[in-house]
Amino acid sequence: MAWDVFDGTRYKKRQEFLDRILDGKITAAFDGHNYTYSHAGSNDPISPNKINTDLREAAEIIVDNMRDRLEDRVHRQLTKQYDRIFSLSSDGGRGKAAGICWMDFQY
C-alpha cells in the first residue's frame, strides 16, 4: 500500500482507531470469569496483559510510521515481531495458526 492512497477521512478513521488502542479502549484479549477471551487465533493459552501491551506497542509503531513510504515494510516486520497477534495462517488468513488480530493493517 502506498502512503499516498489515504484520503483524509480514511486516514482520520484509522488514526482514531489506533488512538483507541493506545488509550486501552480496544483490546485483543481479556480475562473472563472462567475463560480468557480473544478475537480469534490459536487455542494456545495467552496472557491478556502481555497481548494487550504488545498490541499497544504495535499500534504506536504503526502511528509513528503512518503515511511513510516504508509503511508496508513496517507492517511486515510487525507480523514477525508480534506474531501471536498479527500472523496469518498458512492459508493466508484464518486458521488455527493465525494470530489474534490477523486482519489487514489497511483497515
- What is the sign, positive or negative, of the torsion defined by CA atoms of 95, 76, 11, 37? positive
Spatial contact of 49 and 62, defined as CB atoms under 8 Å apart: no
Q: Taking Cα atoms as reference points, which of 31, 19, 22 lies closest to residue 54?
A: 22
Closest by alpha carbon to 56, among 31, 16, 20, 103?
20
Question: What DSSP character marks residue 96?
Answer: T
Locate cell 494487550: which residue? 52
Give residue 50's pLDDT.
Answer: 93
Q: Which residues of the chain have pLDDT under 50?
A: 1-4, 107
Cα–Cα distance between 88 and 75 in angstroms, integer? Answer: 12
* Closest residue by Cα to residue 54 from 4, 9, 99: 99
Bridge partner residues of 38 (DSSP)? 29
pLDDT score for 3: 44
